[in-house]
Amino acid sequence: MNRKATALDVAKLAGVSRSAVSLVLNGRGDGNVALESQQRIREAAAALNYSPNQIALSLRNRQSRIIGIVSDQVVTSPFDGNIIAGADAVARSHGFVTVVMDTELDTSRDEGAVETLLDRQVDGLMYVTVGLRPLHVPPNMARVPSILANCFDDRPEAGLPSVIPDEVRGGREAAEHVMALGHRDIAFLAGDSLTPAAPRRIAGYRDAFKGAGLPVNEDRVLQVGWDIDAGFHGAMKLLDGVEASTRPTAILCANDRLAIGVVLACYRLGLNVPQDVSVMGYDDEFRVAKAMVPALSTMALPLREMGAAAMTALLAEVEAAPNGKNEKNDGGGGTGAEVLVPCRLVVRDSTGPVAAGR
Amino acid sequence: MNRKATALDVAKLAGVSRSAVSLVLNGRGDGNVALESQQRIREAAAALNYSPNQIALSLRNRQSRIIGIVSDQVVTSPFDGNIIAGADAVARSHGFVTVVMDTELDTSRDEGAVETLLDRQVDGLMYVTVGLRPLHVPPNMARVPSILANCFDDRPEAGLPSVIPDEVRGGREAAEHVMALGHRDIAFLAGDSLTPAAPRRIAGYRDAFKGAGLPVNEDRVLQVGWDIDAGFHGAMKLLDGVEASTRPTAILCANDRLAIGVVLACYRLGLNVPQDVSVMGYDDEFRVAKAMVPALSTMALPLREMGAAAMTALLAEVEAAPNGKNEKNDGGGGTGAEVLVPCRLVVRDSTGPVAAGR
DNA sequence: TTGAAAGCGATACCAG
DNA sequence: CTGGTATCGCTTTCAA
């Protein structure tokens, strides 16, 4: 059992020609190959544990059934990873395999990664980023059907199609959730503006106020960063030494780590969550949001769905494209389309009704 | 610029034969091809932006320069991901590419994943798990050089080589760190025993006590789980309503999320970290340990190093193996070897000297 | 109904 | 020094 069996081995064992084997195993046996032979071929294939060499197939068919994924920083983040997982599941169900090249945030490696993938004859390309952001699309991506996930083409004219979360709506619905609980003095702790995610979520927050006919108190919007300590210090600024009647009753955070920091600060100040202040996260980070004390209400980022949606769209284009030849790439697949995937409100224990009298 | 240029295109443009192109572009031109032709060939290649079709190469050379990685659950964890990142970086530097198949913790998919990879003619295989654990190695992995990262062969006799963290030593050094700070009443909050990581770290903790000539108080060792809430409740059990003189002065956690829970509990009880109690994490989780308030002292898991070490060992075997043929697989690469990679102590702000009088 | 032959793209050997 | 030819494993005409 050294080398894998080839179609020739099967043919020999069954006493027929390679062509017959090929026909039968690809379902085109009936009407071309004697039933008796078909039977023998199938038995032989099973006996030898035969499965075709994908490399040879790729060469022959001029399509590799490989989708290349270029990632910002797949590895260290539960974010990218989930997008890729969603994408990969869809790819697998179509008989494709994905190979991902991680640039580790070094954009100068973009082109090289794409080139490597192209040399491997990938049938399609997906670019995935950890955080939502505009992307300077590597020019050579245009050579095969491509799509962007969690990022969008930075060229003004319509570029590559992309799938991104509906951050504005997410921000709005988060605010609406606490408003429904009676809160009116609501702070928003966002990261920096390095990613459009923060501004968009803040825009949604403003929309909610507008929708409720309330003014936005600009002092309540703090762009502090994305980590636990930023949340902690942001909350301290909002709460420490401020008398109960004038502090915000709810704090919306742009991610779950910020929310951890906020809760930490509350505890340190002897404040209870959600009785004294409601806290909301964003992302629904795995193993974090659900396990916090108290469990975090949050806005789940539809990562897997985004990956799946992007891959579905991409494969549609790949499979439509004339075998191995590049389509003209000017109309195919709705070039430039931007798909917005909604976030999902997850209500847990860190948000509650506003305290009486506020 | 529709189809990629082939060697034939280059040959035509340069007015030579394919063979000449092949020789020159593979550095075997001198002494075989006229210098003048070489020049023309190189120019033609550059003009056409030629690079060889890896698929054709793979078929021809019977080696794909692809390493298959089967992962437990790459996606959602910063753990696996980092191992893969380390492995991938090494692979890339050797001109290999990795394709990872994620089984999402469904072991029944193991064999299928390996089979898919094998059909793609991978030159080697690596199995990566999120948590340290014994692995029932898919039998078909034996068909190509293989290695395990963060897991080990569950068969008693030496199976596949593996690279795992030195958890015992990690547990010991964590305990020694706080002992050096004067602590004697040290609690250990571990996850469950579903993974050998917890018992091993606890073993190390015991070693440290033995080394110091101190007895272990078994009530101080709690196996609670792996998440924030487990840490919170574990700490509450240890600290709530217990008078200062009889509570542990340091709490060692089996991961950083547990440590978050412990700090949360401390704050809730009005205790300061590290003044009242020192807290230590484990893993040095990205974006978490460093950003905690206070920043967590922790024992960094050498994830990237493990991935890199595993890939280095694997490639050594792959590249030693006679081109395309499987080596006999009984001696090659030190079968069954188990490499222990040490963890790295990271001292930050959550551990400090024991309070006076304790 | 079956088998022989022509590629897919690249390399290596061997006459010329 | 150079170019023809076999080969990798498979599919797909096309003749027999």
Question: Into how many domains does chain A fold?
Answer: 3
CA of A68 to C1' of D14 (A): 37
CA of A59 to C1' of C6 (A): 15
Per residue in A60-75, pLDDT (tens digit) is: 999 999 999 999 886 6
pLDDT band of residue A29 (cuts 50, 70, 90) is confident
Residue A248 tokens read as 């915000």
- Residue A60 in any domain: the answer is no
Establish whether the CB of A28 is closer than 7 Å to any nucleic acid atom in strand C. no
Nearest to B63 by CA among B326, B331, B308: B326
Same domain, A25 and A35: yes
Of A172-181, B99-108, B212-221, B250-259, least confident by mean pLDDT is: B99-108
Same domain, A188 and A249: yes
Residue B236: give its domain's CATH number: 3.40.50.2300
Chain A residues 54-113 within 7 Å (CB) of strand C: 56, 59-60, 62
The answer to whether the Cβ–Cβ distance between B85 and A76 falls below 8 Å is: yes
- Residue A350 in any domain: the answer is no
Range of the domain at A282: 167-301
Same domain, A150 and A181: no
For residue A313, pLDDT beyond 60? yes
Nearest to A285 by CA among B251, B78, B340: B78
CA of B111 to C1' of D9 (A): 24
More confident residue, A1 or B222: B222
CA–C1' nearest nucleotide, residue A59? C8
Residues 219-278 of A with CB under 8 A from B: 226-230, 232, 257, 260-261, 263-265, 267-268, 270
Give the pLDDT mean for A246-265: 97
Same domain, A289 and A175: yes
The per-residue pLDDT for B324 is 40
Tell me the whole-structure pTM to 2 decimals.
0.92
pLDDT band of residue B28 (cuts 50, 70, 90) is confident
- Residue B58 in any domain: the answer is no
The answer to whether the Cβ–Cβ distance between B75 and A82 falls below 8 Å is: yes
For residue A234, pLDDT beyond 60? yes
- Residue B19 in any domain: the answer is yes
Give yes or no for a contact between A224 and A258, defined as CB atoms under 8 angstroms apart.
Answer: yes
Q: Which residues touch strand D (CB under 7 A)?
A: A 3, 6-8, 18-19, 21-23, 25-26, 28, 52-53, 56-57, 59-61; B 16-20, 31-35, 37, 56, 59-60, 62
- Residue A1 in any domain: the answer is no
CA–C1' nearest nucleotide, residue B57? C10
Same domain, A182 and A297: yes
Same domain, B144 and B190: no
Residue A242 tokens read as 């401020």
Contacts of A229 in chain B (CB under 8 A): 291-293, 295
Same domain, A173 and A282: yes
pLDDT band of residue B320 (cuts 50, 70, 90) is confident
Same domain, A161 and A184: no
- Residue B355 in any domain: the answer is no
Please tell me the distance from the alpha carbon of residue A238 to that of residue A247, in angstroms, as a whole number.
Answer: 7
Residue B44: give its domain's CATH number: 1.10.260
CA of A56 to C1' of D13 (A): 19
For residue A340, pLDDT beyond 50? yes
The per-residue pLDDT for B357 is 77
User: Helix, strand, or coil here: B305?
Assistant: helix
More confident residue, A326 or B237: B237
Same domain, B182 and B74: no
CA–C1' nearest nucleotide, residue B9? C9
The per-residue pLDDT for A331 is 39
Give the pLDDT mean for B110-117: 94
pLDDT band of residue B333 (cuts 50, 70, 90) is very low
Q: Which helix (H) or strand (E) holds B205?
A: helix B197-212
Same domain, B297 and B318: no
- Residue A348 in any domain: the answer is no
